Structure formats: C-alpha cells, structure tokens
Amino acid sequence: MHRYHPVVATPLTDVPASLGADGVRRLYRLMLLTRLLDERLWIVVRQGKAHFVLTGRGHEAAQCASALAVHAGSDWVYTYYRSLGAAIALGFTPYEIFLGVLGKAADPISGARQLPNHFSSRRLRTPTVSSSVATQIPHAVGTAWATHLRGEPVATLCYFGEGATSKGEFHEALNVAGLHRLPVVFFCENNGWAISVPLAEQVAGGSVAARAAGYGMPGVLVDGLDPLAVYQATDEALRRARRGDGPTLIEATCLRLTPHSSDDSDAYRSDDERAALAARDPLPAFRDRLLAAGLIAPDEPERWTDEFRASLLADQDRADALPPPTAERARRWLYQEPR
C-alpha cells in the first residue's frame, strides 16, 4: 500500500547535484523575474491595456523549482491558468506572454484567441489547455499512455490547483494512471482557495496527497514555499516516471498572495489574513537563505530587480506597438476552411 509522506527541506549545504549552486542562483532569478512580470501584468490591466489576467504570486517557488526538474523539449508538460512561473522556467519569454495578455495578432500561443496564460508550445511540448478546470489532467494521462506505448523514456508533468481535485476528471485520470502505471506526475498547487471557497469546504479530508493511495501510487506532501524541497520531490518523481516505475501525486502547499484574478475583489479574506500570507512570501525568504549561505552577493537582488524591470518595460512597449488580430480572422478555425 502506498502512503503519502512529507519531503523535508533540502539545506543549502546539500544542494541536489542535478541542480548545483549555479542552478540555485538561476532558480532565484527565475522566481524574481516571475514576480516582477506578475506585478507588471496587473499594472497593465489596471492601465486598461488588457482586460483580464490570472497570475500566481506566491506560487513562484513551487512552479519554478518543479519546472527546472523537467527535461524541457523532451518531457511533456500540461500547465494551468496560474502557471506563470512554470512557463518562464520552461522557456516561455515575458515578451511572448505580453503578446497574449495585450491581445496581439503576433501572440505565438494562440494568436490572441484564448485567455492569458493558456501556455502552448510545440518546441517545449506544452499542449494548449482549456479554461475549464481539471480538463488537462486526463489529457496528460493520455499523453503519458502514448509515450508508454511507444517505449519513450520521457515523463509527463501535469499542474493544477486543489480545486481541480474536486472534479471528476481528476479521479478518472488518476485511476487510469495508477492502473496502467503510466509515466505521469500530478502536481497539485494547494493554496487553500478554489476561487473564493476555502479548502475545508471543498476537499474532503483536507489532504490531496493522501488520495494517492486509493489509486495505487505514491503521494508526496511538500512545502511549496521551499523551492529546493519542491525541486527534490519533483525531480525524484519525474525520474521514477521516466524509468517506468509509474505515476506520483505531489501536493505542494502554496500561498495565493493576490485575488483569484484581476476581476476578483478578494472580499472573502480579511486584511489580517492577507498580511499573514504576505509575511510568509517565499521570494524574500529564499533570497535571505541564499544571502546567508553566500550563494548570491548582497547587491545582486537589487541589481537583478532593476535589470528585469527595465527589460519587462521594454518587452511590454515592443508588444504594445503591434496590431491586434484583424476582424477577418474572428471565425477562423471555427468551421472548415473553404477550398
């Protein structure tokens, strides 16, 4: 019988060899870039340049660290609408994301035909997903089954929030994956809120990782605020999948520091609740650990912040100067093209 277990944080004196000191520095830079891009996207919406944005402020540690364990371009990855950090770590650029958020015809992900954060790339093996919660989970299992039948030594990683675990797709997908020992890793980012519904009111038993035992796979509970612990857990699960040992369910406990979306008032949380979450922000916590360990210089966080802010403004201006899709394209791909 599989049981779920917590992963203990990896001390900075014992960094995984597959990550290394340079990888740790890169991880912090990715988290910082994701945070600054997140903040910039919200400003763009408030300026009226974009209509809507969903981001993952507070999820940067879980997303960037887990994505660094992926063999990008070889493994398959299914993201979800909050996967900004994972997308950046996998290789999507802020410029590409601005093109989508600003609704430009040059948007390489969908040509501005989808909501923001529906990441898709043939090069990175990230298939497009639906806005409907949890639908990407059975798709990920289908991909894992295909690679299994072909004998390919690759894994599929699937991201979703804990709200998705209340949908039938989650349970059906895990049942098939466990039954056929498919090479897929289910990565649940549990921030405690399914839009405005708290965890206690929509996840029976309160634990996602514990559900893994019912589907014949290991369940791993990891602190989603500790990027090294997340990297360790995801790296082990993906290696397990690639060598044919079957699926894993990872539950990473995260924080949602923003409202659900730019259209959400967040009125269901008090100022005290939001302040308590901000005090546990994973970005400054990881920065302080790296400074204390001497892995980054005291001036680097501020210098990198200035560097990223300047590049993000340049990316936004470059994207904003491009035209939107033409009206003639509105019905393209809805019906068979005329011959």
* pLDDT tens-digit profile, the chain (339 residues): 444 555 545 566 677 888 999 999 999 999 999 999 999 999 999 999 999 998 899 999 999 999 999 999 999 999 999 999 999 999 999 999 999 999 999 999 988 888 888 999 999 999 999 889 999 999 999 999 999 999 999 999 999 999 999 999 999 999 999 999 999 999 999 999 999 999 999 999 989 999 999 999 999 999 999 999 999 999 999 999 999 999 999 999 999 999 999 999 999 999 999 999 999 999 999 999 999 999 999 999 999 999 999 999 999 999 999 999 998 888 877 887 766
> One-letter amino acid identity for 156?
T
CB 308 within 8 A of CB 36: yes
The pLDDT of residue 116 is 87
The domain segmentation of the chain, as residue ranges, is 5-329
Per the CB < 8 A criterion, the answer to whether 208 and 190 are in contact is yes
The 3-state secondary structure of 271-299 reads: HHHHHHHHCCCHHHHHHHHHHHHCCCCCC
Closest CA to 319 of 14, 39, 62, 44: 44
Give how far Cα 196 sits from Cα of 101, 192, 266, 268, 292, Å: 24, 10, 8, 7, 37
Burial class (CB in 10 A: 0-12, 13-18, 19+), 174: buried
**Residue 314 backbone dihedrals phi, psi, to 5 degrees:** -65, -40
**Sequence-separated (6 or more) residues with CB below 8 Å from residue 50:** 41, 44, 101, 102, 103, 116
Q: Give me the pLDDT at residue 1, please.
A: 41
**3-class state of residue 65 by DSSP:** helix
Residue 247: name the closest of 119, 167, 147, 168 by CA. 147
pTM above 0.85, yes or no: yes
DSSP state of 51: S
Give the pLDDT confidence score for residue 13 in this predicted structure. Answer: 61
pLDDT score of 6: 54
Would you state the pLDDT for residue 55?
83
Return the CATH fold of 5-329.
Rossmann fold (3.40.50)
User: What are the CA-CA distances from residue 134 to residues 161, 163, 282 (Å)?
Assistant: 8, 8, 26
**Segment holding 98, helix H or strand E:** helix 94-101
Could you tell me which of 233, 168, 171, 161 has the C-alpha nearest to residue 199?
A: 161
Q: Which helix (H) or strand (E) holds 172?
A: helix 168-180
In the block, residue with structure tokens 């979306």: 261
Question: Per 3-state DSSP, what percentage of the chain is helix, strand, and coil (rounded to 5)?
Answer: 45, 10, 45
CA–chain centroid gap for 224, Å, is: 11
Q: Are 323 and 104 in contact (CB under 8 A)?
A: yes
Alpha carbon distance 183, 153 (integer Å): 9
Which residue in the block uniquely carries the two structure tokens 């929509």?
Answer: 202
pLDDT digits over 168-179, tens only? 999 999 999 999
The pLDDT of residue 200:
93
Strand partners, 190: 253
The whole-angstrom separation of Cα 88 and Cα 71 is: 14
Please report how the helices 20-46 and 94-101 are oriented relative to each other, as an axis angle in degrees rounded to 10: 20
